[in-house]
Chain A
Amino acid sequence: EVQLVESGGGLVQPGGSLRLSCAASGFTFSSYWMSWVRQSPGRGLEWVANINRDGREKYYVDSVEGRFTISRDNAKNSLSLQMNSLGVEDTAIYYCARDTVGASYYWGQGTLVTVSS
């Protein structure tokens, strides 16, 4: 069974940093592109970033480019999102997702990031 479990969310002050992790199991992690998608409270979905199978290709939405870094460790079946210079607009539930042919087939349960003073 495919499982994606996010962790690392919490309360952080504006300007602070946070690192999210996603533990993957039930599939060959190194064979899939992976994504982060976020959802602000009561709002819609926003694609944040994705990464290719070997970690060499990374893409970001403009609003996080230069502040967030997506990475993966295929040996540990783990996906990460390093978030720096956080602003209140980054407050959201962050989902880890496994992509197939571009669409996000499997999603984790999400981890809440709250940016507030």
Chain B
Amino acid sequence: AIRLTQSPTSFSASVGDRVTITCRASQVLTNNVAWYQQKPGKAPKLLIYTASTLNTGVPSRFSGSASGTDFTLTISSLQSEDFATYYCQQYNTYPRTFGQGTKVEVK
């Protein structure tokens, strides 16, 4: 199975900060990678698919990129509603796998 390693696993940030989360795959993938946001007690919400395509209704401060086996989620200016846990997922091969998650907390 393809292993996805997210970094960092958690960190503190302030409103207005530029935030970058990285997801490293254990082998080369196509761009079949998605990013999800999850808030406590809620189901995950799809933010980005095919590594860089923003889902409908997702604010443009979110963006995704890919370089080799590294995939990156960037929030250009963190807002209060963005404090949450973020997961990457690969859907290139079976079994589908998720990263372990990155929790973004209030500084």
The answer to whether A59 and B94 touch across the interface, beta carbons within 8 angstroms, is: yes
A95 to B100, CA, bound (A): 17
The segment out of A23-31, A77-85, A96-104 that lies at the interface is A96-104
Count of A-B contacts judged by CB separation below 8 Å: 58
A97 to B87, CA, bound (A): 15
Which B57-107 residues have C-beta < 8 A from chain A? 87, 89, 91-92, 94-101
- Size of the A side of the interface (Cβ < 8 Å), in residues, is 22
Which A28-55 residues have C-beta < 8 A from chain B? 35, 37, 44-47, 50
Chain A residues in 8 Å Cβ range of B101: 44-45
- Size of the B side of the interface (Cβ < 8 Å), in residues, is 24
Choose one: A45, A59, A101, A108; the contact of B87 (CB below 8 Å): A45
A91 to B32, CA, bound (A): 29
The answer to whether B45 and A107 touch across the interface, beta carbons within 8 angstroms, is: yes
**Shortest beta-carbon distance from A87 to chain B in Å:** 18
Is A11 among interface residues, defined by CB-CB distance under 8 A?
no
**Shortest beta-carbon distance from B41 to chain A in Å:** 9
> Which residues of A pack against B, CB within 8 Å?
35, 37, 44-47, 50, 59-62, 95, 100-105, 107-110
Query: DSSP majority for the B interface?
Result: loop
Chain B residues in 8 Å Cβ range of A47: 89, 95-98
The answer to whether B91 and A108 touch across the interface, beta carbons within 8 angstroms, is: no
**Shortest beta-carbon distance from A26 to chain B in Å:** 15
The answer to whether A50 and B43 touch across the interface, beta carbons within 8 angstroms, is: no
Is B55 among interface residues, defined by CB-CB distance under 8 A?
yes
The answer to whether B46 and A45 touch across the interface, beta carbons within 8 angstroms, is: no
The answer to whether B46 and A104 touch across the interface, beta carbons within 8 angstroms, is: yes
The answer to whether B44 and A45 touch across the interface, beta carbons within 8 angstroms, is: yes
